[in-house]
Structure 1
Amino acid sequence: MVNRKLELRALLFGCAATICTMPAAVSAQQADGVSPASDNHEIIVTATRRSESLKDVAMAINVATGEMLEKLAIFDAKDIQQLSPALEMTNTTGRNNTTTLRGIAFDPDQGTSPSVQIYFNEVPVDAQVAYTAIYDMQQVEVLRGPQGLLRGLSAPAGAITFTARRPSFDVVEGYAQATVTDLAGYNVQGGVSLPFSESVALRLAVLVDGNRLNHVRNVNRGGERSYGSTQSFRATVGLRPTDASEAYFTYQYLVADRNQYQQVIGAGNTPVYLEDFSGKNPDLLSGPALTANDYTAVSDGLFRNRLNSHLINANINYDFGGATLSFVGAHQYSTQTVQRDMDMANAVPGYISTSDVFIPMRINSGEVRLASNNDEGLAWNLGAFYRKQSGVTVVDEAADNFFAPVTVYGSYPYLPINAYIEVPVSDRTWSFNAGLRFKSGPLKIEGGLRYSLIHNVYTATVTASSPGIPGVPTAPPFNFTSPGVPAHLQLVKEKPFTGGINISYGVTPDINIYAAYGHSFRAGSAGVGSQPGWSDDLVQTKPEKTDSWEIGVKGSSFGRRLNFGLTGFYQKIDGYLSRFDQIYYNCPELNGACVPVGTPNATPPSSTPVSFFPFNYNADATIKGVELELNGRPTNNWDFGLNAAYIKARFNNANVPCNTLVAGVPVIQGTNNVSFCRRNGRLSDTPDFSLTANTEIRAPMGSVTPYLRALLNYRPSFTATRSDYRYRHRELLNLFVGVRSEDAGWDINVFVRNVLGQARVTNIGDNNMVENTLAGPFESGYRTVNVMAPREFGLTAAVKF
């Protein structure tokens, strides 16, 4: 087995070093699609809020141009992970998009700011909106490492900036592209620039998309398949009233309707059946035995997620000669409506645990920035940033209380309970920053500080009601309301300093070395839906602080036909904000309900759990790693490249909530509401090593050019500590064969995604899904999973004008 693994890795590296590779992460592509490895073109990025050559920026960055996104049929923003190592972009439940970078994970349900901030046209946006539709892009940049200075919101792992194409003031130009696949997928998109004068221009873009999402079918709903459709429209007006000023105003409308069933694997199970005391009833089986290759769900209810979003964005610049005054701002109003069966693994067959969630998001943000224009000597910048998010999330769901994991005469004994929860969102951030830059010949030193005022209020109103059980005096009707967050933990106010400094030196005109330090910060949060009797540390998390040190070298050789970059870094996180799901807890009890400590006649907490809950908690962590990038153009008709990363992201002797079992039964050990364990394992279910590579080989034949294109994404096998699961190695290979005109005015290709047909698990739940009862849990026999999309054939036709 070891020899086979070594042979596979050797084959992959050999392939990546020759014909199986091309400019990884598309970082060898410029906006016009011409490789910087020829004709002395350079990669221009805006990672530092200035247009600079990639090799001059003291930061590890991956770049994907809009042209390459179209070439590689990347219609889902999450597929950008195929272009950047150690980047994982997932949607594990169909309703929450998560981003993991450099092993630093994030769960949107933990209520904190993300570990990777997302920006659209330089304004922060919600990941759910940014990831739902990607089209007519100018460039996508993945900024690796802590962010605490350049943009208004701090993040410990990095940032991803999406920049839409702007209108041309010179000529009418645009594109149209259509794709269909054998798995009922389609994508039609296009954009056109209309210059009305030298000072007024308009760009219009549109997207219509449909696909099977995670390709899962539900055997308990007549074989229904997951499916989603998305439509979006974008209009950008460009104004250049004077030679010194320009402004761009963008409006984007997006609507998506997705029914995504949760895939599960396992043997399934059936509850105890008491009608004639004959044992279990096979008719109540939660579902058949399932593996990853089955792409199957077993829930009795649907999972529908509808998103409606409006985004207005402004980007204005005025050049005073010595300095430029800039403003970027946005108003986003989105609504997300989710209908789902919370019993995703069908632990209680024939029963639908209904949940209806309405999430409105009103986000206003703006930034004013004044920066000097000089490149040599001493330069400076000043800025102020503001962001506010508001809205009231409403949850209406079943919270039925089952008495035992049994059925009696075909029905379940339980007390019907409805939970109605209102969660007002009130997050506000002000920040002020200042920076200096000194450049003298090959030497450049730059740095700065950002001072933030963070004001978040965490409140909730929880109403529980029940009609009771007729004829049962001990189960009367009730209706009561309680706060979801204790009053003394509702307000989070922080005043952190973040920022950094770096120094770079041009050893030669084509080679730069650099060293950088960065500091970031994330405010803690309060867990909504907490129970009376819990200790404060289980309800409210403390703030997280990050320090990172990085060194690197970037450059090119052979007349810029070969570009390279090597980065090494060490990062220390104090109080890393993490989430621990399905943790069993106890509390003082009175009449079967949790009550505050000291309540008269209450039963003290025991070692027997009351139920389980997802807890947020702080834990120290360290991340260290090395990242390598190679890309180039050995000949005019062959591009190649490779990105690889080896990163160890681990808890550092962290004392965190966990589950302890005695003879297979969960118990609470110690004097806390939950058990605690020491951990030094992975921060996320991601491997230490990852690799991405792609290539294009062309064979010009007069007025047409046939080509072969490939994209490879490799993840080795590894064992996840938290889920105790051995992930298998993954080799995701996509191939494209096509022909285009000499001037790239038209292009037709056929492609195969997942050529090897692998069905590897990419994410798995920590344990089998269960439904708790007063006398033990219903056991589903399944774990929730996400799996690589199956092999898919497609055809794309595109024109440019």
Structure 2
Amino acid sequence: MKHRILASASVLAIVASPAYAQTVPAGTASQTTTPAPSSEEQAGLQDIIVTAQRTEQSAQKAPVAIAVVAPQELIRQNVTRAEDLSRVVPALVATASGGPNTSFFLRGVGNTTVNSYSDPAISFNYDGVYIGRPNSTQGFFYDLQRVEVLKGPQGTLYGRNATGGAINVLPRRPEIGVTSGEIQASYGNYNAVHAQGAVNLPIADSGAFRLAGTYDRHDGYYSDGTGDQKQYGARAQVLANLTPNLTTRVGVDYQHQGGVGSGSYIYGTFAYTGPTTGFVFTPTPQLGPKVGVADPRTEAFIQTRFIAQAGRNSEAINSYPSQNDSVWGATSETNWKTSAGTLTVQAAYRESQIAALSTTSNFRSFRQDEHAHQVTLETRFAGKIGTIADYLIGGFFFDENINNRSSINQITLTPFQNYITGTTSKAAFGRLALHVTDTLTLTGAGRYTDDVKRMNGLSNVFTLFCGAPTPPQDFCPNVPLMPLVFNANDLISFYTSRGVAFGPPGSRGPNTPTIFNTQIAINSKLITKKFTYRGALDWQFTPRNLVYVSYETGFHGGGFNFGRGLETYKPETISALTVGSKNRFFNNRLQLNIEGFYWKYKDQQISQFGTDFSSPPISVFYTSNIGSSTIKGIDVDGEFLLTPTTRIGGSVQYLKTSYDSYAFTSSLQSPTPPNFACPYTVTTQYNIDCSGKPALFSPKWSFNVNASQTIKLDGFKLVLEGGTRWRGDFYAATSYQPWVISKATFQSDASATLSPDSEWWSVTAFVNNIENKRRLTQSNTNGTLNTQSGLATAPRTFGVRLGARFK
């Protein structure tokens, strides 16, 4: 009972430290078993068992850079979507990117991918299965065993190679011989209702069934109703010990995301004032992070913006977002223990149907109709060579196919994209841990990957011009802007019926509107064959003190763009040196982990808005290889069990990033120089050089501080918890203008939980973001309206949560 009291009291967001005692249900592992802790160890801080190296081991004994988040902390911090993870992992910046998409950055490495013809730099894995699409990472955060965030390149053991790291979301698995159930439900401001529950049932003596579900909803965080949440999901699993040495588990899951989706707000305008003064920014304090784009105040403001290309003021955006997204999957994992080792085979199928309409000040509408399905198969064999070495060998197969129809209405420009794309990836990998002594281990690992990425599609782009696209200014006050239609035929009919002709810009003379049509076709294939590796040395010089050093390489494949002259980009590569130490002191009551890292990045990929090399140029969102960068820093995590009922802890990260080389080009036909706070030269194009700038979404300093106190009452207990997190300034867009800096701020939370000593029920009052600070998480430039818009964190939320369980 003492351990359960401590577990309930500990809700610290100590990302590299265990927040409570984590045990592994029967049938969850395919490799080694961790010995039970001694009575002395049980009296102090408890271990979380992780599988970051494909074997079970304590997080404190794993010589890898890993942050582990326990399920109680996910509940306390109200983590219900992928972007919420940034609240509990200081090294991670996650933000909604329009519709169902989520962008992840770890220590300055990541990308803002919002299309399906490029891949994320941070791999997202659910229940051991790589999830290929950033729009399919929602709906998993309930009834979890833990979340593991691996920091740095994952070039050896994980499904698809990733340069920045991996996020592993691991659900609780069925427990044989156990009948149990639990439920958590809360209600708060913004009409927030969050509920999740699970039931575990035995099947005879050698099987178990687990069913879990979730329902999450709240009203919009913006004045126009955007920024809401409406999602639900369910998961069912069956576990069977077919023989004493043969175990299999089958799981299926389904999640649906509806409602409006993420919103945005305008916070300023900019104008080019000449070669001396450059771009000048003017804030719009009347349109802060509470006022959404569809708010009448924003719509009225937008209509005052003059659009030089169209020769008239803007119309209202006059569209409203929606989402109707479904994701489901099935997986089968079989473990066969032999005298030589354990064979693990995991096969999975996943499918998504995305129907989302996003609106921001950048887009009148961004409509995605996408159907994707993927098949994965991974086989691993893990064994021992006496007491000398542990080894693991494996193979991986991934095949993904995507059918997408999109339209992106940018007020004066609309591309209609219709394409089929996909990836086939095959890999062989292995790991050998050589025990040089009882305490010293040398590890080598490698992976050979063969990726084939294919693309066959057409972007049919229509651009509105009033006369010639260059000064002197033409005026077309009555020309209609791009209509809210979702195919080329409807757009052609719209303008033809209004007497607007199609042809080159200016072909009908000044002050006369024309529609210019450009078609960009891609039918291509990218093949990448790469060997990546890891070498590490760890020394467990006492049972509670570990030091380690590792060097690892990784790569992230290339991809495609619908932009003339920008159709493809190359893979990026990264190498990472890590030196760390994990420690327990004072009879297992103080934990202190320190890690230093040094990363070198080559052919780095950056996704940004810009112009292509069509004539005239087209505004596109594209990915390109911009050069190289250096990333270095230190992580320190600590946790102290001051008394059996008092726990304090915290974490701090120092991060220094710099682009050693960041050079790219832009079309000289653009009416103004590029909107970047970077020097440029002019030849046959603009040559922009942002070398020396820091990486995006990479605050120099970040820290968390948390505490909990358990007050024992007569047959009851009251647990008081509180914490604060601070993230320094970071750039939220590639322009590096001062107005795209996300300013540093504190965000704090507190809660009080009453429960009986048996813990069969609990009631909690909570408040998150006490300061009510809505920090900028992403900044977007609208070159048509010359406005700057952003996405913001959630406002202050509070409520009451009830919980009950039986076993």
Q: How would you bin the TM-score normalised by the shorter chain?
A: 0.7 to 0.9
Give me the whole-angstrom Cα distance separating, in 2, the residues matched to 1:575 and 1:663.
30
Q: Could you tell me which residue of structure 1 aligns to residue 260 of structure 2?
A: 259
Work out whether 1:730 is the aligned partner of 2:758: no
Q: Could you tell me which residue of structure 2 aligns to residue 313 of structure 1?
A: 331
Q: 1:560 to 1:175 in 2, by over 3 A?
A: same
Shift of residue 124 of structure 1?
0.5
Q: 1:508 to 1:672 in 2, by over 3 A?
A: farther
Count of aligned pairs = 700
Alignment equivalent of 1:499, drawn from 533, 538, 557: 533
- 3-state SS, counterpart of residue 682 of structure 2: coil
Give me the whole-angstrom Cα distance separating, in 2, the residues matched to 1:647 and 1:659.
34
Q: 1:395 to 1:631 in 2, by over 3 A?
A: same
Shift of residue 793 of structure 1?
1.4
Give me the whole-angstrom Cα distance separating, in 2, the residues matched to 1:572 and 1:374.
35
Deviations 1:208-239 (A, max 9, x none): 110235x0122xxxxx4443311111100001
Q: Could you tell me which residue of structure 1 aligns to residue 234 of structure 2?
A: 233
Alignment equivalent of 1:435, drawn from 431, 434, 442: 431
Q: Structure 1 residues 66-75 or 194-203, which shifts more? A: 66-75
Q: Could you tell me which residue of structure 1 aligns to residue 557 of structure 2?
A: 523
Work out whether 1:559 is the aligned partner of 2:549: no
1:28 and 1:632 in contact (8 A); partners too: no
Q: Could you tell me which residue of structure 2 aligns to residue 762 of structure 1?
A: 777
AA paired with 1:790? P
Work out whether 1:541 is the aligned partner of 2:585: no
Shift of residue 261 of structure 1?
5.4
Deviations 1:460-507 (A, max 9, x none): 12345523545859548999894532x5xx210011001201110112
Shift of residue 750 of structure 1?
0.5
Alignment equivalent of 1:112, drawn from 113, 118, 137: 118
Q: 1:521 to 1:714 in 2, by over 3 A?
A: same
AA paired with 1:31? Q
Q: TM (normalized to structure 1)?
A: 0.82
Alignment equivalent of 2:639, drawn from 627, 631, 639: 631
- 3-state SS, counterpart of residue 506 of structure 1: strand
Work out whether 1:24 is the aligned partner of 2:30: no
For structure 1, which runs of at least 5 residues remain unmatched after alignment? Answer: 1-18, 219-223, 271-285, 347-351, 403-417, 595-609, 772-778
AA paired with 1:484? A
Alignment equivalent of 1:199, drawn from 206, 211, 215: 206
Deviations 1:296-323 (A, max 9, x none): 6444201112211111011210000221
- 3-state SS, counterpart of residue 459 of structure 1: strand
Alignment equivalent of 2:369, drawn from 345, 358, 361: 358
Give me the whole-angstrom Cα distance separating, in 2, the residues matched to 1:392 and 1:792.
39
Alignment equivalent of 2:803, drawn from 782, 798, 801: 798
Q: Structure 1 residues 381-390 or 634-643, which shifts more? A: 634-643
AA paired with 2:14? A
Q: Structure 1 residues 236-245 or 648-657, which shifts more? A: 648-657
Structure scoring higher RCO (CA < 8 A, sep ≥ 6) equals 1
Give me the whole-angstrom Cα distance separating, in 2, the residues matched to 1:96 and 1:763.
13
Q: 1:660 to 1:760 in 2, by over 3 A?
A: farther
Work out whether 1:325 is the aligned partner of 2:343: yes
Alignment equivalent of 1:217, drawn from 200, 217, 223: 223
Alignment equivalent of 2:621, drawn from 614, 623, 626: 614
Q: Could you tell me which residue of structure 2 aligns to residue 132 of structure 1?
A: 139
Q: Could you tell me which residue of structure 1 aligns to residue 597 of structure 2?
A: 569
Q: 1:174 to 1:562 in 2, by over 3 A?
A: same
Q: Could you tell me which residue of structure 1 aligns to residue 194 of structure 2?
A: 187
Alignment equivalent of 1:550, drawn from 568, 578, 597: 578
- 3-state SS, counterpart of residue 345 of structure 1: coil
For structure 2, which runs of at least 5 residues remain unmatched after alignment? Answer: 1-8, 25-36, 272-282, 299-316, 461-487, 504-513
AA paired with 1:722? Y
1:140 and 1:161 in contact (8 A); partners too: yes
Give me the whole-angstrom Cα distance separating, in 2, the residues matched to 1:471 and 1:756.
52
User: After superposition, where does 1:375-774 map in structure 2 within 5 Å?
Assistant: 376-396=387-407, 398=409, 419-439=415-435, 440-463=437-460, 464-465=488-489, 466-467=492-493, 468-469=495-496, 475=502, 482-485=519-522, 487=523, 490-527=524-561, 529-531=562-564, 534=565, 538-581=566-609, 583-587=610-614, 589=615, 610-618=617-625, 619-657=627-665, 670-671=682-683, 674-717=686-729, 722-725=736-739, 726-765=741-780, 767=781, 769-771=782-784
Work out whether 1:289 is the aligned partner of 2:290: no
Q: TM (normalized to structure 2)?
A: 0.81
Deviations 1:404-439 (A, max 9, x none): xxxxxxxxxxxxxx7542110121100001221112
Give me the whole-angstrom Cα distance separating, in 1, the residues matched to 2:327 and 2:447.
31
- 3-state SS, counterpart of residue 24 of structure 1: coil
Deviations 1:430-449 (A, max 9, x none): 00012211123001111111
Give me the whole-angstrom Cα distance separating, in 1, the residues matched to 2:666 and 2:150.
33
Q: 1:419 to 1:684 in 2, by over 3 A?
A: closer
- 3-state SS, counterpart of residue 141 of structure 2: coil
Deviations 1:749-768 (A, max 9, x none): 10111111223323222x3x
AA paired with 1:157? G
Give me the whole-angstrom Cα distance separating, in 1, the residues matched to 2:459 and 2:670.
34
Q: 1:564 to 1:524 in 2, by over 3 A?
A: same
Q: 1:165 to 1:560 in 2, by over 3 A?
A: same
Deviations 1:269-299 (A, max 9, x none): 99xxxxxxxxxxxxxxx99931235466444
- 3-state SS, counterpart of residue 559 of structure 2: coil
Deviations 1:41-99 (A, max 9, x none): 42211100000122221111111122332344333332222222121111032332011
Give me the whole-angstrom Cα distance separating, in 2, the residues matched to 1:251 and 1:322.
31
Shift of residue 362 of structure 1?
0.2
Give me the whole-angstrom Cα distance separating, in 1, the residues matched to 2:152 and 2:139.
24
AA paired with 1:153? R
Q: Could you tell me which residue of structure 1 aligns to residue 104 of structure 2?
A: 99
2:647 and 2:709 in contact (8 A); partners too: yes
Give me the whole-angstrom Cα distance separating, in 2, the residues matched to 1:92 and 1:641.
32
Q: 1:481 to 1:789 in 2, by over 3 A?
A: closer
Q: 1:36 to 1:303 in 2, by over 3 A?
A: farther
Give me the whole-angstrom Cα distance separating, in 2, the residues matched to 1:80 and 1:419.
33
AA paired with 2:74? L
2:223 and 2:290 in contact (8 A); partners too: no
Give me the whole-angstrom Cα distance separating, in 2, the residues matched to 1:471 and 1:65.
60
Alignment equivalent of 1:61, drawn from 63, 66, 71: 66
Give me the whole-angstrom Cα distance separating, in 1, the residues matched to 2:60 and 2:674.
54
Give me the whole-angstrom Cα distance separating, in 2, the residues matched to 1:519 and 1:310.
33
Q: Structure 1 residues 383-392 or 726-735, which shifts more? A: 726-735
Shift of residue 170 of structure 1?
1.6
Shift of residue 379 of structure 1?
2.4
Q: 1:613 to 1:420 in 2, by over 3 A?
A: closer
Give me the whole-angstrom Cα distance separating, in 2, the residues matched to 1:318 and 1:685.
44
- 3-state SS, counterpart of residue 74 of structure 2: helix
Give me the whole-angstrom Cα distance separating, in 2, the residues matched to 1:259 and 1:753.
23
AA paired with 1:379? D
Q: 1:708 to 1:493 in 2, by over 3 A?
A: same
